[in-house]
C-alpha cells in the first residue's frame, strides 16, 4: 500500500514490483496505479517468480507494461526499464 501511495504523491518514470508482497498483491497495486488519473501512463514492470501463463495473463489484465520472471538477467532488466522509462 505504501508503494501505491508513493506513486500517487510523487510519480516515477517506472515502477518495478513483485506479485507477492505483504498486504495487497502486485496485481492489485498495479490496478490501483493505473486507475490514478495522473499516473495511468506510469509504466509498471512486474518482476516476480510467478511464471505460469495464468500469472502472466493476470499481469496483463492488471495493466502491467512488462512481466519478467526471476531470475532475470541484468541486461534484460535494463532493456525493459530503459524501454518503459524512456522520456519520462
Mean pLDDT of 39-43: 93
Q: Which residues pair with 67 in a beta bridge?
A: 46
Grid cell of 65 as nine digits = 507494461
Q: Tell me: the pLDDT tens digits for 10-26?
A: 989 999 999 999 999 99
Q: Which band of pLDDT confidence, cut at 50, 70 and 90, is reported for residue 87?
A: low
Phi/psi class of residue 67: alpha, beta or left (left: φ > 0; alpha: ψ in -120 to 50)? beta
Question: pTM above the 0.85 mark?
Answer: yes
**DSSP annotation string for the chain:** -HHHHHHHHH--S-EEE-SS-SSS-HHHHHHHHHHSTTTTTS-EEEEES--SHHHHHHHHHHT-SEEEESS--HHHHHHHHHHHHTT-
Amino acid at each position: 500500500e505504501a508503494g501505491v501511495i508513493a506513486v500517487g504523491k510523487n510519480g516515477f518514470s517506472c515502477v518495478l514490483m513483485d506479485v507477492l508482497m505483504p498486504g495487497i498483491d502486485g496485481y492489485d497495486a498495479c490496478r490501483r496505479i493505473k486507475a490514478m488519473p495522473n499516473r495511468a501512463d506510469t509504466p509498471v514492470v512486474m518482476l516476480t517468480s510467478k511464471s505460469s501463463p495464468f500469472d502472466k495473463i493476470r499481469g496483463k489484465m492488471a495493466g502491467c507494461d512488462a512481466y519478467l520472471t526471476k531470475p532475470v538477467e541484468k541486461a534484460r532488466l535494463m532493456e525493459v526499464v530503459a524501454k518503459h522509462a524512456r522520456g519520462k
